[in-house]
Structure 1
Amino acid sequence: MEPFAYNLDEADIKRERQKARELRTSQWWKRRCAKAVCYYCKKNIHPRDLTMDHIVPVSRGGKTSKGNVVQCCKECNNNKKQLLPIEWEKYLARIDLQA
Structure 2
Amino acid sequence: MEPFAYNLEEEDIKRQRRLARELRNSQWWKRKLAKGLCHYCCREFSPGELTMDHIIPIARGGKSTKGNIVTACKECNNAKKQLLPIEWNNYINNFDNTGHD
- Shorter chain as normaliser: what TM range? over 0.9
Q: Which runs of 5+ in 1 are unaligned?
A: none
Runs of 4+ in 1 over 6 A off after TM superposition: none
| Corresponding residue of 2:42 | 42
Whether 1:66 aligns to 2:44 is: no
Partner of 2:52, secondary structure, is: strand
Whether 1:92 aligns to 2:63 is: no
TM-score (normalised: structure 1): 0.96
Number of aligned residue pairs: give it: 99
| Corresponding residue of 1:55 | 55
CA distance in 1, matches of 2:53, 2:96: 22
User: RMSD of the TM alignment (CA)?
Assistant: 0.8
| Corresponding residue of 2:6 | 6
CA distance in 2, matches of 1:67, 1:36: 18
- Which one-letter code corresponds to 2:26 in the other structure? S
TM-score (normalised: structure 2): 0.94
Q: What is the Cα deviation at residue 91 of structure 1?
A: 0.2
Q: Which runs of 5+ in 2 are unaligned?
A: none
| Corresponding residue of 1:28 | 28
